Amino acid sequence: MKFGRRQFLQAAGATAAFPVLSKIAKADGYPARPIHMILGFAPGSASDTVARLIAPMLSQRLGQQVIVENRTGAGSTLAGDVVSRAAPDGYTLLVMTITNAVNETLYQGLTYDFARDIVPVVGTFQSPNVLAVNPALPAKTLPEFIAYAKANPGKIDYASFGAGSAPHTNGELFDMMTGVKMVHVPYRGSPMPDLLSGQVQVIFSPMPVTIGAIRAGQLRALAVTTAKRSDALPGVPAMGEFVPGFDSSIWHGIGAPKGTPPEIIAKLNTEINAVLAEPKIKEMFAKYGGVPTGGPTDEFAKFVSEEVSKWAKVIKTANIKVEAEH
């Protein structure tokens, strides 16, 4: 959806022409300096990969550099805190993920309220997670893995990018829905070296992180975490084929501090949607097993609200509690 000069003037009407023109001029002058996109995960993570694919093309459209900054720690709550405290001027943005929706319930004592203090701008990327294991693990199919895990409670380690990250919440959901009990091993950086070496055996990984290793035979994919199979790994079954009702995707988007002028939000939405419509972006996202999302701001805001509610049920049912880092 685009919000250009004509739409603003038509919506306002002739009697409000001067205030609207003032707002448009403000949006037209934006950006006048580099924009910082803050994300809460390490280089090489799915959110980092997607952000760095989008940033150069967005820079070209906006005429200013878009800088991706990694502020790791506490499952992206530190990044969210930085953005919630930033000036609401469109120059500091949050790379939002499913983790931010989870953290709203997961973390006790957060210094900010994600739903209140971060304004959704636009969704950018969506893909399944993939249940991948080190090839040394004897299970070669999902039913075999479930049987093996039940026979070895507390002896299988599954890695994540931290408490509340997609691999963590998917692992908890899997435990709940299958009756197995695995050990969660959170990493502040990438768990891939330990996963490939066998120090940990399992990950419910965002597909961009592990698809290369899966295709190279370094990891074995047992299932994608959705109700249907993924075109990126068509030979890998969907979790829903063996665990009815299991349906979880990772998603990314862009958010801004509360109070950011709506005309700046609209401009960002328009320009990011234009980037996501580029064939090159679609091709690159497909390489990592995902698709661009895009769309109007209000649709993304509704989706984020639904995700907060969905994962709140998982966190409360599993009785997961994490103290926020300060």
- Owner of token pair 């599954």: 158
Token pair belonging to 73: 């720690």
Interior CA angle at 308 toward 169 and 105, to 5°? 65
pLDDT digits (tens, 9 = 90+) for 110-155: 889 999 999 999 999 999 999 999 999 999 999 999 999 999 999 9
My answer on whether omega of the bond before 167 falls inside 30° of 0, hence cis, is no
Show the domains of the chain with their CATH numbers.
Answer: 5-127+250-323 (3.40.190.150), 128-241 (3.40.190.10)
pLDDT tens-digit map of 61-108: 999 999 999 998 777 889 999 999 999 999 999 999 988 998 888 887
Backbone angles phi, psi at 222, to 5 degrees: -100, -30
Of 48-52, 204-208, 235-239, 322-326, the poorest mean pLDDT is in: 322-326
Nearest C-alpha neighbor of 52 from the set 210, 161, 187, 208: 208
Beta carbons within 8 Å of 73's beta carbon, 6+ residues apart: 40, 162, 188, 325
Judge whether 230 and 240 are in contact, CB under 8 Å: no
Question: Mind listing the pLDDT tens digit for each residue in 24-33?
Answer: 435 669 999 9
Tell me the average pLDDT across 290-296.
95
Query: Across residues 46-73, what is the average pLDDT?
Result: 94
Cα(79)–Cα(73) distance, integer angstroms: 8
Four-CA torsion 37, 124, 322, 227, nearest 10 degrees: -160
Long-range contacts of 280-284 (CB under 8 A, 24+ apart): 280/57, 281/53, 281/54, 281/57, 284/53
Quote the pLDDT of residue 26: 55
CB 226 within 8 A of CB 126: no
Residue among 298, 295, 250 at smallest CA distance from 119: 298
HEC sequence for 47-88: HHHHHHHHHHHHHHHHCCCEEEEECCCHHHHHHHHHHHHCCC
Q: How far apart are CA 126 and CA 227, in angstroms?
A: 14
* C-beta neighbour count of 104 within 10 angstroms: 22
Q: Is the pLDDT of residue 13 over 70?
A: no
CB atoms within 10 A of CB 160: 25
Candidates 126, 124, 119, 125; CA nearest to 266 is 119
